[in-house]
């Protein structure tokens, strides 16, 4: 059988993930500040998808969608504390079935007792707790694990070290070592290696050397600033309150510092990627390896006065997606694709050695033909959803062509034409000029999700059930689902007993004081 590389041997596959990376901040997508030459180099050699989207602008559900090729709500992965069931087939299961050796290095935010999900091995623990620690409660919500945007902006700047830097150093070291191990291994199977970093995810802190690569003068303020409360749509008003974005004292200086630190974190991860690419070259693995670079979701970075994610505006849901390697030529693809398309695509790249039928129907489609410039037809539609903390009902998004539709059961919808309105300032919902587009998008949404009121009831039942299980398991002898429960973690992973915000900034001030003394 002839495979993607044009020979008899199938390509190795590396899935390289960065976390909370807004596509618009990268130079390949028009960003004019961040210095990421290694990512740009991948883009120059490979296929760049201009309209790639997350299926859920929150870490865990996004990754579960990507890994399973299913929308998160269909597999009951509603939030960052929803179990990813061991019975759900993943990319790793499919590629392992097809004869690939499968390794995970870094963050995948798996929740539940199964911390492998088809991977034969994992080289690092999860950075976040694998249990139901961060449970949302729509009927009496607890936001202990919601990021505080004002704190993130006040704290932004250079530091010697953070717990998240500790983690990514561990990921980078183990990934590089694994590449050397693979190169000298007698195991001749092709490999699927997932390398997943946690930067440039907030907090907006970076090392001094990466901070120094930028100046305040070159760090632009957001294109669209904060809105007064009376001008906010219902979805935006909700996220302002959830993240403490309506707090006083958020100045241009704070905004600029946070953006500068984010760009610094981008350069930090780009350096990591550069070292891995160099290792691929040194080991001779590069020419036979497909590299996929993407992110789980974006970051608003102050656009519209918003930070982080959990909204459907472009900076939060549009993500980078770059493919490079044997059989792929440099080109740009304009069609809408999303992370659920990755599973069928990688199976397509693997070139099944024997008959393979999906264990369950896949929601996504292989975009390999698009990547090779051969697709005659493409659905050009992406779906994204929010059923997590920060909302109190399902909020959904459908994008077809340039039109994006956002709706829930209880508040007025939003409809944007991104071709004419890239900053999403003009809500066209209900206007005759787009009535045909709106009707089509609403049809697609109803066909996909059905009754959102009934879905809300199902989610609340899940929340209450998981809350009870969490409370019961905190009594008596406590057993951890984390894959390193019996070793000292040095505080670099988020586990029970700490809030998200306290963990993020643990030791930062002491390190700052010592470095300045």
d(CA 508, CA 259): 19
User: 3-state DSSP call for residue 337?
Assistant: strand
Q: Which residues pair with 396 in a beta bridge?
A: 385, 407
d(CA 387, CA 148): 20
Report the chain's C-alpha Rg in angstroms. 22
Q: Residue 496's CB: how many other CB atoms inside 10 A?
A: 13
- The token duo for 200 is 């440039």
Number of helices (H), then strands (E), belonging to the chain: the values are 15, 15
Q: Which helix (H) or strand (E) holds 241?
A: helix 234-242
Best CA proximity match to 481, nearest among 134, 128, 174, 75: 128
Contact 133, 498 (CB under 8 A): no
φ/ψ of 494, rounded to 5, equals -80, 115
Q: Which helix (H) or strand (E) holds 97?
A: helix 91-97
- The token duo for 16 is 């390289």
Query: Cis (ω within 30 of 0) for the bond into 366?
Result: no
Best CA proximity match to 93, nearest among 124, 59, 120, 62: 120
Q: Which residues are catalytic?
A: 59, 109
- Spatial strand order of the sheet with 414-417 comes to 381-386, 395-400, 403-408, 414-417
């Amino acid at each position: 059988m002839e495979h993607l590389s044009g020979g008899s041997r199938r390509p190795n596959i590396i899935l390289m993930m960065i976390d909370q990376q807004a596509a618009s901040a990268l130079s390949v997508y028009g960003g004019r500040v961040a210095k990421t030459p290694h990512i740009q180099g991948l883009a120059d050699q490979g296929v760049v998808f201009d309209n790639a989207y997350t299926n859920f602008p929150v870490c865990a559900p996004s990754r579960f969608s990507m890994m399973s090729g299913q929308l998160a709500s269909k597999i009951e992965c509603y939030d960052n504390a929803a179990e990813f069931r061991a019975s759900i087939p993943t990319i790793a299961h499919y590629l392992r079935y097809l004869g690939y050796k499968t390794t995970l290095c870094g963050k995948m935010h798996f929740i539940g007792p199964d911390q492998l999900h088809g991977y034969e091995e994992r080289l690092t623990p999860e950075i976040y707790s694998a249990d139901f620690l961060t449970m949302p409660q729509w009927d009496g919500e607890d936001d202990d694990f919601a990021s505080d945007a004002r704190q993130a902006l006040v704290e932004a700047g250079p530091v010697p070290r953070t717990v998240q830097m500790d983690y990514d150093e561990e990921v980078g070291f183990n990934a590089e070592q694994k590449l050397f191990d693979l190169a000298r291994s007698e195991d001749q199977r092709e490999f699927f290696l997932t390398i997943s970093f946690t930067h440039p995810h907030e907090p907006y802190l970076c090392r001094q050397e990466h901070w120094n690569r930028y100046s305040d003068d070159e760090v632009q303020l957001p294109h669209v600033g904060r809105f007064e409360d009376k001008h906010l749509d219902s979805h935006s008003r909700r996220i302002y309150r959830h993240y403490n974005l309506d707090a006083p004292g958020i100045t241009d200086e704070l905004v600029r510092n946070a953006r500068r630190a984010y760009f610094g974190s981008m350069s930090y991860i780009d350096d990591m990627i550069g070292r891995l690419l160099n290792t691929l070259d040194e080991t001779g693995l590069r020419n036979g390896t497909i590299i996929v670079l993407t992110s789980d979701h974006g970051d608003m970075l102050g656009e519209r006065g918003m930070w982080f994610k959990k909204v459907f505006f472009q900076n939060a849901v549009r993500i980078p997606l770059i493919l490079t390697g044997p059989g792929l030529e440099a080109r740009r693809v304009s069609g809408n694709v999303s992370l659920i398309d990755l599973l069928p695509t990688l199976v397509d790249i693997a070139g099944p050695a024997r008959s393979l039928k999906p264990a369950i129907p896949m929601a996504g489609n292989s975009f390999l033909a698009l990547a090779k410039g051969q697709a005659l037809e493409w659905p050009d539609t992406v779906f994204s959803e929010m059923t997590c903390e920060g909302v109190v009902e399902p909020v959904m998004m459908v994008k077809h062509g340039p039109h994006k539709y956002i709706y829930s059961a209880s508040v007025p919808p939003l409809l944007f034409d991104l071709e004419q309105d890239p900053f999403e300032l003009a809500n066209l919902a209900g206007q005759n000029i787009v009535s045909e587009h709106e009707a089509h998008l609403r049809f697609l949404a109803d066909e996909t999700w059905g009754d959102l009121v009934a879905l809300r009831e199902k989610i609340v039942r899940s929340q209450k059930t998981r809350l009870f299980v969490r409370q019961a398991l905190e009594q008596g002898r406590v057993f951890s689902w984390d894959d390193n429960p019996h070793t000292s973690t040095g505080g670099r992973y988020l586990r029970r007993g700490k809030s998200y915000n306290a963990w993020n900034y643990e030791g930062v001030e002491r390190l700052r004081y010592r470095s300045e003394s």
